[in-house]
Chains A and B, each alone.
Chain A
Amino acid sequence: MARLSQKLFSPRLRQFGHILPFNVFVWILLLFYLSPVFFIIVTAMKPTEQLTDRNSPLYPASMVRYEYQGREYPLYHVPTEAGIQQWALIKPRRATSEFIDPQHPESGPIQWQGSWRTLKRVYQFHIAWENFTVLFKSLLFPRMFLSTSLMTLIGEIAVLTSSIVVAYGFSRFSLPGGNLLFYILIATILIPEKVTFIPSYFVYVNYLHWRGTFLPILLPLFFGNAVYIFLLRQNFKSIPVDLEEAAMLDGAGPLQRLFYVILPQSWPVVITVSLLYFFYSWNEIREVSLYLGSNIKLMPLSYGVQTYQSFTPIQNLIEASTIVVLAVPVILLFLFQRFFLQGLVITGMEEGTSSGV
């Protein structure tokens, strides 16, 4: 018996059978985990008339109507003696309503006993692309895209450059005070923003009059971000020093070594950090609302859409605008997935702190 099964199932197939249940489980979990994303996509495509109807289908669909004597009437599923018919409701009344049968309009209105409110409407599949047209008419997307892109691009360059240089300093050079400065770096990650926010806010707004400019948001980025410095440093530390020593013997200075030896080996973590900043900056609304809120010209995408959503209690438009905000980050996530998903290595914390170049 065992022999037979061995003959029937090749090793590869048996291996597949071994991993299949696991993969099916992961896919089910993934479907569940992504259901909010599907909800966003499907809701964004729904016509508004479908939203308030509990009995409407889950897919995007519009109500079917029938034109009778120059006017449009909605179709309902009506239970009759001849099974459920799709009739158009002409005169809705409490006890009896008048319907018309679209197949035989010539036979005139039909009286139906019962409350029409209990009936279900007839729907047909329909994607409401007009949601997006409405959005593009009511929001200045090109300008908001430009503002967000500009802010994110400048911030990205600033925070990446400074964090990389500082991380290099932390990873390869023994600093005065030993590890003390590094511990201070970690400590700054933990400081609640509120305690530094109050004085900074008043300096920016009341003394420097920077409200309505990008400056209060962008300026701190030129001085590095503690989390990014930490992540980059851990990665730089895992690169062997031999190559760098060789480069040093050839007369390469510290910055040259950083650019020609360290960076070419650290693309995954550099890309990960820059994507993390990108997602942060693209979606950020707290700082933006505090400092840019008054300046409509520089209104970034996230803040514009958030404001729109808070004044538009219509779920399909809300989700459609969410898709507009999400589009660019999702594209970047898929483009760079190969680098991004190698994971962030943070172990090897104290390794070789004393061995500088």
Chain B
Amino acid sequence: MQSTSLLEKKTSIQPRLSAETRYKRQIGLFLISPWLIGLLVFKLIPILASLVISFTNYQLLGPDKPHFIGVQNYIHVFKDAVAGKVLWQTVNLTLVIIPLQIAASVWIAGLLSSRRLLWKNTIRTLFFLPSIIPAFAATLMWQGYLDPGIGWLNRLILKPLGLERGLAPALVGGIDPIFILISLWSIGPSVLIMMGAMQSISPEIYEAAWLDGAGRLTRFFRMTIPLITPAIFFSLTLNLTALFGGAILLDRGNTYRGNISSYDGYVNYVLLDLFRVGYASSLAWVFFVFVLIVILILFGTSKRWVHFPDRER
């Protein structure tokens, strides 16, 4: 793998390109130019700008003019107990929610792509339905659903089981259970991605395994899951970034009470309530670096467990 990519690099740096290749490159560049401009204007420049701002004491409603104060903001971030707490909460949340989301979406996608399933389209659509309930409404809905007096959890599920009083939804690792429920009820896009991957597995492989006497569970855990690891990896990345406030596929990755996470909420508070732009920028940058490290670790481990079809050639 290493050697071929080096080879490719060498050929691509070759000084003389044929006229046709150059023409194709120009067209390619022309086609992706909207994205390139967007990258510059909406990503790179703002990122650099917020880096610059993070070294100033810029305040929206301050008496003094903004000037550079060096790394003071960053020192402040590392001393800020609230920042540490909200970052820890966000990490905690991620560790609870992401595994649940991935497991649930693999499981449901497996059920929905089974050949034994009748009325496939209707059932798949119905499973997607809760994912399009807007986050703000979902929050209030779950509050009503879990209400100890009139909520359905108590009246429909716990009361018949004789558990009425005992099981008030407890905090899970300091996390509001509504947050977990909302993220489990918004796995629609992940399920779609997993389903797409499962459908592209050729049936012959399963038939061969079936002939060899592999049971249903063996086939699912030993064949399906390894073959859909690229999809798992992709939706892991998407869910993670949704939780960290990156790209969001539906309106909540996991929006809850207006904030993606408690860290996000803290930055909003510093920015929009305290108007401390410089400090908010450094908070955002610390988080950016933190996310980068997490993503790099994730991508680093991906070679071990993600089955990329092309790598085997």
Which A residues are within 8 Å of any B CB, using their own CB?
18-19, 22-23, 26, 29-30, 33-37, 39-40, 43, 51-54, 56, 58, 162, 165-166, 168-170, 172-178, 181, 184-185, 188-202, 220, 222-227, 229, 254, 272, 276, 279-280, 282-286, 289, 302, 305-306, 309-310, 315, 318-319, 321-322, 325-326, 329-330, 333-334, 337-338, 340-351, 354, 356-357
- Residue B29 at the A interface, CB < 8 A? yes
Per the bound structure, the CA–CA distance linking A53 and B147 in Å amounts to 12
Known: A178-B8, A189-B246, A356-B24. A325 touches B137 (CB 8 A): yes
Per the bound structure, the CA–CA distance linking A254 and B32 in Å amounts to 13
Q: Is the CB of A276 within 8 A of B189?
A: yes
Q: Could you show 11 A-B contacts with beta carbons less than 8 Å apart? A: A33-B127, A37-B129, A166-B31, A170-B28, A191-B291, A195-B287, A302-B251, A310-B136, A318-B137, A326-B132, A349-B308
Per the bound structure, the CA–CA distance linking A173 and B31 in Å amounts to 9
Q: Is the CB of A192 within 8 A of B35?
A: no
Known: A286-B255, A322-B133. A350 touches B271 (CB 8 A): no
- Residue B281 at the A interface, CB < 8 A? yes
Known: A280-B248, A349-B308. A169 touches B32 (CB 8 A): yes
Q: Is the CB of A162 within 8 A of B35?
A: yes
A313 to chain B, nearest CB (A): 9
Q: Is the CB of A272 within 8 A of B28?
A: no
Across the interface, A349 reaches (CB within 8 A) one of B126, B280, B310, namely B310
- Residue B226 at the A interface, CB < 8 A? no
Chain B minimum-CB-distance residue to A185: B35
Q: Is the CB of B310 within 8 A of A350?
A: yes
- Residue B49 at the A interface, CB < 8 A? yes
Which B residues are within 8 Å of any A CB, using their own CB?
8-9, 12, 21, 24-25, 27-32, 34-39, 41-43, 45-47, 49-50, 53, 111, 113-114, 116-118, 120-138, 140-142, 144-145, 149-150, 152, 155-156, 185, 189, 192-200, 228, 230-231, 234, 237-238, 241, 244-251, 255, 258, 264, 267, 271, 277, 280-281, 283-285, 287-288, 291-292, 295, 308-311
A45 to chain B, nearest CB (A): 14
- In addition to A34-B130, A39-B141, A350-B308, 16 A-B residue pairs with Cβ atoms within 8 Å of each other are A22-B116, A29-B111, A36-B185, A169-B27, A184-B39, A191-B246, A198-B280, A283-B250, A285-B136, A306-B136, A337-B121, A338-B121, A342-B199, A344-B189, A345-B196, A345-B200
A275 to chain B, nearest CB (A): 9
Chain A minimum-CB-distance residue to B185: A36
Chain B minimum-CB-distance residue to A184: B39
A256 to chain B, nearest CB (A): 12
Please name all residues of chain A whose beta carbon is closer than 8 Å to the beta carbon of B228 when the two chains form the complex. 347
Q: Is the CB of B114 within 8 A of A22?
A: yes
Chain A minimum-CB-distance residue to B145: A39
Please name all residues of chain A whose beta carbon is closer than 8 Å to the beta carbon of B114 when the two chains form the complex. 22
Across the interface, A173 reaches (CB within 8 A) one of B25, B283, B284, namely B25
Known: A52-B150, A227-B249. A220 touches B34 (CB 8 A): no
Per the bound structure, the CA–CA distance linking A25 and B124 in Å amounts to 14
Please name all residues of chain A whose beta carbon is closer than 8 Å to the beta carbon of B144 when the two chains form the complex. 39, 43, 315, 318-319
Q: Is the CB of A354 within 8 A of B35?
A: no
Q: Which of B133, B258, B309 has the largest count of A CB atoms less than 10 A from its CB?
A: B133
Please name all residues of chain A whose beta carbon is closer than 8 Å to the beta carbon of B194 when the two chains form the complex. 343
Tell me the dominant secondary structure on chain B's binding face: helix
Tell me the dominant secondary structure on chain A's binding face: helix
Please name all residues of chain A whose beta carbon is closer than 8 Å to the beta carbon of B45 when the two chains form the complex. 199
Known: A174-B28, A195-B288, A223-B42. A283 touches B35 (CB 8 A): no
Please name all residues of chain A whose beta carbon is closer than 8 Å to the beta carbon of B292 when the two chains form the complex. 190
Q: Is the CB of B126 within 8 A of A178?
A: no
Across the interface, A280 reaches (CB within 8 A) one of B46, B193, B250, namely B250
Q: Is the CB of B32 within 8 A of A199?
A: no
Across the interface, B126 reaches (CB within 8 A) one of A34, A170, A276, namely A34
Please name all residues of chain B whose beta carbon is closer than 8 Å to the beta carbon of A22 when the two chains form the complex. 114, 116-117
A288 to chain B, nearest CB (A): 10
A131 to chain B, nearest CB (A): 14
Q: Is the CB of B53 within 8 A of A198?
A: yes
Q: Is the CB of A26 within 8 A of B123?
A: yes
B155 to chain A, nearest CB (A): 6
Per the bound structure, the CA–CA distance linking A27 and B125 in Å amounts to 13
Per the bound structure, the CA–CA distance linking A147 and B164 in Å amounts to 45
Q: Is the CB of A348 within 8 A of B309?
A: yes
Q: Is the CB of B199 within 8 A of A40?
A: no
Across the interface, B137 reaches (CB within 8 A) one of A190, A200, A322, A354, namely A322
Please name all residues of chain A whose beta carbon is closer than 8 Å to the beta carbon of B35 when the two chains form the complex. 162, 166, 185, 223-224, 226, 229
A43 to chain B, nearest CB (A): 7
A36 to chain B, nearest CB (A): 6
Across the interface, B118 reaches (CB within 8 A) one of A19, A53, A280, A283, namely A19
Please name all residues of chain A whose beta carbon is closer than 8 Å to the beta carbon of B246 when the two chains form the complex. 189-193
Q: Is the CB of B132 within 8 A of A330?
A: yes
Across the interface, B47 reaches (CB within 8 A) one of A52, A166, A196, A356, namely A196
Q: Is the CB of A330 within 8 A of B129?
A: yes
B19 to chain A, nearest CB (A): 14
Q: Is the CB of B250 within 8 A of A188?
A: no
B298 to chain A, nearest CB (A): 9
